[in-house]
Amino acid sequence: MQKVERRLKSDEKKRLKNNKIIMNTPLKILLTIHFSLLAVFGFAQNFSVQAKIDSVAMWLGDQCNVTFEIYQNADIKVTAPIFSDTLISGIEIVEKPKIDTIANQDGSLKITQTYLVTSFDSALYYIPPFPFASGQDTIFSDNLSLKVVSPEVQMDTTQNVPILADIKGLEKAPINWQLIKKILLWSIPVWLLLALIIWLIIKFVIKKPIIIQEKPIIKRPAHEIAFEKLEEIRKEKIWQQGRAKEYYTQLTDVLREYLENRFDVPTFEKTSSEIIDSLQFIKKEYSEQLNSLRRIFTTSDLVKFAKFIPDINENNAVLNNSEDFVSETILKELEQNEKVKEE
């Protein structure tokens, strides 16, 4: 009897234990699903990545776009993969990626990276998932595929050689008759106005020749210009202000200009000694004057380049000698004309 009771108690315990296992199994499944969803949504709240391609097939040498769309919170930074010249072996990147950022109403961001790619090898390409990282989290993009197809090659049966042709035939642009009509309508008034202008020009301008009388250019004698500038230098007396170098520079510039106009000798690009050498052809007629000019240039060079400081008498003497040089080398024809005027 006791053995029977023990057996019944043992069976009862096993039944209760099995019921607990049956009741606990659905609960464990629900808890597992719950925590899995929490993990998934936890990642989704941070960022997610989608990969897209314009077309799964294209002709050899054609182009298509591969796009990565990143959905992320605004307060995190997502590091995208960096490609150099190729997306994968066989698929080349034509240009740098175009990046576009859109802010959503909930504060999240949508960042789009678009790569323009091409391929010159016909094959079925598998584009693997690429990693996108943010902190310690890494998400891989979707895998893609692209089939690159070579154009069909037609054979010339007569010569047994391939016929080269474009992938796509040339299309003729349609004629825009409406645009041509508008251009003609707008051009008619323009042509009429142009014809009227031409007629007016022929009638009132061309038939009456325009006579333009040029005013004769009166060239002042070289000695007049020289005397005028030397007189200005005498009135200014800048050498009395300690500006001796500027004083002698003005004097020699006046003489250089006079020599060019009087004897037609270039002087401003020459040194003092070179100027004297170029005036040797007047030595026979103006020997004393040439020696006086040499002394003026020598004194001037000493002041300008050797820091020589002349006294008051020498400053006045150089100015007087300059005026004498000009007055003694005036053209003889001008001298005769001036004498006639005086008589």
Find, among 79, 85, 110, the residue nearest to 97 by Cα: 85
- 229 and 327 housed in the same domain: yes
Find, among 312, 278, 317, the residue nearest to 295 by Cα: 317
Residue 171 pLDDT greater than 70, yes or no: no
3-state SS class at 52: strand
Q: Compute the half-sphere exposure of residue 311: CA atoms within 13 Å on the CB side of its CA.
A: 1
Per-residue confidence (pLDDT) for residue 215, from 0 to 100: 58
Tell me which of 7-11, 197-201, 317-321, 322-326 is least confident. Answer: 7-11
Q: pLDDT per residue over 132-170, tens digit each?
A: 998 888 999 999 999 999 876 666 666 666 665 555 556
Close Cβ partners of 33 (under 8 Å, ≥ 6 residues apart): none
Q: Residue 76 domain-assigned?
A: yes
Q: Which of 151, 174, 204 is the last residue of a domain?
A: 151
- Domain CATH number, residue 108: 2.60.40.10
Residue 258 pLDDT greater than 60, yes or no: yes
Q: pLDDT per residue over 74-99, tens digit each?
A: 888 898 898 988 999 999 999 888 89
Domain count across the chain: 2
Find, among 106, 97, 114, 113, the residue nearest to 44 by Cα: 106
Q: Residue 160 domain-assigned?
A: no
Q: Residue 113 domain-assigned?
A: yes
Q: pLDDT per residue over 39-58, tens digit each?
A: 444 444 578 999 999 988 99
Question: How much is the average pLDDT of 193-208?
Answer: 80
Q: pLDDT per residue over 62-75, tens digit each?
A: 999 999 999 998 88
Per-residue confidence (pLDDT) for residue 338, from 0 to 100: 54
Tokens 């070579």 -> residue: 150
Range of the domain at 147: 47-151
Q: Which of 151, 181, 214 is the last residue of a domain?
A: 151
In sequence order, what are the beta bridge partners of 99? Answer: 113
Q: Which of 123, 151, 179 is the last residue of a domain?
A: 151
Tell me which of 7-11, 151-155, 291-295 is least confident. Answer: 7-11
Q: Residue 337 domain-assigned?
A: yes
- 141 and 226 housed in the same domain: no
Q: Residue 191 domain-assigned?
A: no
> What is the share, in percent, of the chain residues with pLDDT greater than 90?
25
pTM metric for this prediction: 0.38
